[in-house]
Structure 1
Amino acid sequence: MRAVSFALEYETGADAVADAFREHPDLYGHSLSCTVTPSHCWRVDRLTGPATALEVAEEAFAEDGHTADCFGASDCPADTRSEVLHRDPSTRILFTSWRRTDECASIPHLALEYVGPGVLFATERRGSRYEWHVLLPSDANLGAFSDAIQAEKAPNVRFDLRQVTDESAWLSAYSGRPALPYTHYEAMAAAVERGYYETPRGITVEELADELDLPRSTLSYRLRRAEAELARSFVGSK
């Protein structure tokens, strides 16, 4: 098996879901699963971010969720269903299904047509960039699959074929981020950006807490909880 990674970048107005992510740069999404048959597509997405951003994204998925897969779907009369499987202040898990019509051209269906059954998908989304990681047989016709995406995408969607690697790239993308509360993710992101995890440290906990206007004890707690979740995710908790 091998993995191919590529990205789609949407111009403003090209895709309602992409617009929601572009307007809220702290929003992050990845698909937990994506299943396709010649006539249907089902997927589950996990979104993390601030509550207001999640509300906007949830609404976009409800109205245009199949645009996550289908090129030009804003004009496509697909029979779409979206349902929230889990909701909390920092997370949404969304189920989306849609019935394919003659006007639909989606990445999973193009893979089914040009590569065959048994292809697995993982996606990641932040801002205007929507990354796909596809696990496929080593002898798959990647050129035909890539050409089909180029032919079907709209002019306001840019296709960027990034790399072809072994299956570890797909496994990494599929795992996504650990289920951190957004405040803990925000604290860790600030720590990484300011060099807290560098050697030597670029900033102390006290200095970072002052910058974030947080009590030192609160920041230390959030960092410890985030680090513990990352460690469990890496090692594999039972």
Structure 2
Amino acid sequence: MRSFSFTLEYEDGDPVADAFRADSDLYGHSLACSVVPDHYWRVDRLTGPTEALERAEAAYAEAGHAADCFGAGDCGRDLRVKALHRDPSTRILFTGWTRTDDCRSIPHLALDHLGPGVLFATERHGDRYEWHVLMPSNANLGDLSDAIRTETGAGVRFDLRQVTDESAWLSAYSGRPALPYTHYEAMAAAVERGYYETPREITVKELAAELDLPRSTLSYRLRRAEAELAQSFVGEDR
């Protein structure tokens, strides 16, 4: 098996993309994606502020198929969206639709060009929608890449990022802990700059200056990220 990753960047006009663009704390990743010739189903976990989650849930209900489909805006006529879980900082959404003649979704393009046995993992924040695809080693990636480039119209930019072994897909599928994206960015920067080394290589004040953030904002984001990670780690062992 091998995997490849690509990114779609959306301009204004896509309801789901607009919802993510409106709040940098909103982050989504797929828990499952399943495709057959005439149907598609997926489950996504969204995290972020309550108002951003409400906007995103409404956008998925309005045009959830458009998140993955380059066809006409009404191609997902049998669109079904259901919230499997809601709390102030999380939504788990089921989305499914019946494929029509106008539907050219990314998973269906993969099925058409790579055949069965293809798996997907996705991440979404801001303008960026990242796809990670696990496929058989002998699959013809060039045909799928060409098909996606052909189907992306005005307002969507396609960027083929990398082709690797299956480890890249496994890393993407495991997903990050359910952190708002700005909290994840703060912790990632802290790790990169040595904040968690012993002794520390940078202080919160210095890191906040580098990131052009108030010290109190950075401290809050790091504390919340650390709390989420600790609770997730302890919860897994209970």
| Distance in 2 between residues matched to 1:120 and 1:109, nearest whole Å | 12
| Equivalent residue runs for 1:68-79 within 5 Å | 68-79=67-78
CA shift at 1:9, angstroms?
A: 0.8
Would you say 1:202 and 2:170 are equivalent positions?
Answer: no
SS at match of 2:73: helix
| Distance in 2 between residues matched to 1:128 and 1:108, nearest whole Å | 20
Letter in 2 for 1:202: I
CA shift at 1:202, angstroms?
A: 2.0
Residues 190 and 156 (structure 1 numbering): CA distance in 2 closer, same or farther, change over 3 Å? Answer: closer
8 Å CA contact retained: 2:177, 2:229: no
| Equivalent residue runs for 1:133-172 within 5 Å | 133-172=132-171
Would you say 1:211 and 2:215 are equivalent positions?
Answer: yes
Query: 2:211 matched to which residue of 1?
Result: none
CA shift at 1:189, angstroms?
A: 4.5
Query: 1:128 matched to which residue of 2?
Result: 127
Letter in 1 for 2:178: A
Query: 1:16 matched to which residue of 2?
Result: 15
8 Å CA contact retained: 1:110, 1:145: yes
Would you say 1:4 and 2:8 are equivalent positions?
Answer: no
Query: 1:116 matched to which residue of 2?
Result: 115
CA shift at 1:75, angstroms?
A: 3.8
CA shift at 1:192, angstroms?
A: 4.8
CA shift at 1:52, angstroms?
A: 1.0
8 Å CA contact retained: 1:72, 1:153: no
Query: 2:24 matched to which residue of 1?
Result: 25
Would you say 1:58 and 2:57 are equivalent positions?
Answer: yes
User: Structure 2: where are the runs of 5+ without partners?
Assistant: 209-213
Q: Between the two proteins, what is the percent identity of the paired residues? A: 62
Instruction: Name the stretch that deviates more: 30-39 or 74-83.
Output: 74-83
| Equivalent residue runs for 1:169-208 within 5 Å | 169-180=168-179, 189-190=185-186, 192-193=188-189, 196-197=195-196, 200-204=200-204
CA shift at 1:186, angstroms?
A: 5.7
| Distance in 1 between residues matched to 2:144 and 2:231, nearest whole Å | 37
Letter in 1 for 2:146: D
Letter in 2 for 1:212: S
Instruction: Give TM-score, length-normalised by structure 1.
Output: 0.85
Letter in 2 for 1:108: P
CA shift at 1:219, angstroms?
A: 8.0
Instruction: Give TM-score, length-normalised by structure 2.
Output: 0.85
Counting matched residue pairs gives 228
8 Å CA contact retained: 2:76, 2:97: no
Query: Aligned Cα RMSD in Å?
Result: 2.8
Letter in 2 for 1:228: A
User: Structure 1: where are the runs of 5+ without partners?
Assistant: none
Instruction: Name the stretch that deviates more: 145-154 or 83-92.
Output: 145-154
| Distance in 1 between residues matched to 2:189 and 2:124, nearest whole Å | 20
